[in-house]
């Protein structure tokens, strides 16, 4: 499998090179040269397969022969050593819980898969790689956990000061070893712009090998296909159309779902549910894509004003606006609506949703008001304990820390505060 830049001004490269480089020299995101649909019999037989077998079939064409089959199966088994429950909270409304991994966020899947791929590629190599990543919340913790102790890999995480939750900050600033955190005076978009600038700065790249673990990296992005298939496997009503509502920030998650659909997974429609950062809802309404400065909300992991992966989504549909619009709905919700949804879900279903899951729920319910003969799944992307400051005042109940959080919450924070790009550059070079 070869990968090409969506800016179409760089050479095609292998999966290994795409993982190590992260972003193309022409600033473009990498995309697989072809997508070959899987057999219909595979999807009909999902209920007879375990999650590792499903994941292997979904990902193998994108890895090709660059990782031996047995090694790839081992990587998948290590990546997916936790559960992905599908919980029906109302009739035909399901929560897909993606928070049962080590950092209690959906990004554990991509981060763990990428870390293990990079470890495989680096096992006979004495050269070090620096993973440089920006986080709006959960990515940092997932990457820190996934890459902790990986040979030949250093990790530098940028996060916006005061704009991640206390639990999220502890998860990315307390691990030491090969993990370093930089607290940035700014927004997530500022962090992401610093990362993109560093990748194109020859003063840095001539001295160290940089790669990214944001969802711009193909090894972080593509494994997110897995849990869409896990959910379809678990559904009882196979004949009813299935809609997924995804709380969306950088749009890597929903983009991966669309890739699974291209492979043949029977998904009727996608809903991109956003907070006040409504770039995509406005695009689908007007046809005009206009990035904005990110707006801070209670669903902070979605506070993205210029979602990187949306260019991949447009590419999946050959940049045909009408084709995209047939498969994607997108709605924006306020913090007020999000809090009300969290309260209603708790009172009516005795289910505690985090703010991001609540946004996904709202999008699904809005779609279902006009579309009756469907079953819907919203993605519960993080455990509510990661957002205690928001959740507990809404449901008026204390949430007990799970063990994964107890392991880090009382550790001292270690982070370097920076304001401008030159401080990041100095840190990386020295």
Active site residues: 107
Instruction: Please report, for residues 252, 309, 406, 418, the alpha-carbon distance to residue 377 in angstroms, rounded to integers and kept in the order given.
Output: 17, 22, 30, 40
Euclidean distance between CA atoms 145 and 122, whole angstroms: 18
| End-to-end CA separation in angstroms for the chain | 36
87: exposed, middle or buried (Cβ count in 10 Å: 0-12, 13-18, 19+): middle
Contact (Cβ atoms closer than 8 angstroms) between residue 10 and residue 25? yes
Euclidean distance between CA atoms 286 and 278, whole angstroms: 12
Contact (Cβ atoms closer than 8 angstroms) between residue 226 and residue 58? yes
Contact (Cβ atoms closer than 8 angstroms) between residue 213 and residue 154? no
- Would you list the DSSP string of 220-246? HHGGGGHHHHHHHHH-S-TTSEEEEEE
Contact (Cβ atoms closer than 8 angstroms) between residue 379 and residue 363? no
Contact (Cβ atoms closer than 8 angstroms) between residue 106 and residue 382? yes
The separation between CA 286 and the C-alpha centre of its own chain, rounded to angstroms, equals 26
Residue appearing with tokens 């978009």: 189
- The SS3 call for residue 205 is helix
Using alpha carbons, select from 27, 24, 36, 39 the residue that is nearest to residue 62.
36
């Amino acid at each position: 499998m070869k990968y090409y830049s969506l800016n179409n001004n760089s050479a095609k490269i292998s999966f290994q090179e795409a993982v190590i480089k992260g972003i193309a020299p022409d600033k473009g995101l990498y995309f697989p040269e072809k997508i070959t649909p899987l057999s219909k019999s595979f999807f009909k037989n999902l209920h007879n397969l375990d999650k590792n077998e499903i994941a292997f079939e979904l990902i193998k064409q994108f890895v090709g022969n660059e990782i031996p089959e047995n090694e790839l199966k081992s990587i998948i088994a290590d990546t997916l050593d936790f559960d992905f429950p599908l919980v029906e909270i109302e009739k035909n409304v399901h929560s897909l819980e993606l928070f049962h991994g080590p950092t209690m966020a959906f990004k554990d899947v991509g981060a763990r898969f990428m870390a293990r791929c990079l470890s495989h590629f680096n096992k006979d190599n004495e050269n070090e790689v620096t993973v440089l990543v920006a986080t709006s919340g959960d990515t940092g913790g997932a990457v820190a956990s996934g890459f902790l102790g990986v040979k030949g890999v250093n990790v530098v995480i940028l996060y916006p000061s005061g704009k991640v939750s206390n639990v999220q900050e502890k998860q990315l600033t307390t691990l030491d070893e090969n993990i370093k955190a930089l607290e940035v005076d700014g927004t997530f978009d500022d962090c992401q712009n610093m990362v993109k600038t560093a990748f194109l700065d020859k003063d840095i790249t001539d001295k160290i090998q940089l790669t990214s673990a944001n969802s711009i990296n193909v090894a972080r992005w593509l494994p997110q296909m897995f849990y869409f298939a896990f959910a379809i496997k678990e559904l009882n009503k196979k004949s009813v159309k299935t809609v997924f509502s995804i709380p969306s920030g950088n749009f890597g998650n929903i983009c991966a779902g669309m890739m699974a659909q291209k492979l043949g997974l029977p998904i009727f429609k996608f809903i991109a549910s956003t907070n006040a950062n409504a770039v995509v809802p406005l695009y689908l309404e007007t046809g005009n894509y206009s990035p904005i400065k990110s707006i801070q909300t209670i669903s902070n992991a979605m506070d993205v004003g210029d979602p990187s992966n949306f260019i991949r989504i447009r590419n999946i549909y050959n940049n045909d606006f009408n084709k995209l619009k047939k498969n994607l709905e997108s709605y924006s919700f306020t913090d007020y609506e999000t809090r009300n949804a969290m309260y209603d879900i708790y009172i009516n279903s005795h289910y505690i949703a985090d703010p991001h899951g609540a946004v996904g729920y709202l999008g699904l319910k809005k779609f279902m008001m006009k579309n009756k003969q469907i079953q819907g799944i919203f993605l519960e992307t993080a455990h509510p304990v990661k957002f205690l400051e928001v959740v507990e005042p809404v449901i008026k109940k204390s949430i007990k820390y799970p063990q994964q959080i107890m392991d880090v919450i009382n550790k001292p924070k270690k982070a370097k505060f920076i304001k401008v790009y030159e401080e990041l550059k100095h840190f990386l070079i020295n």
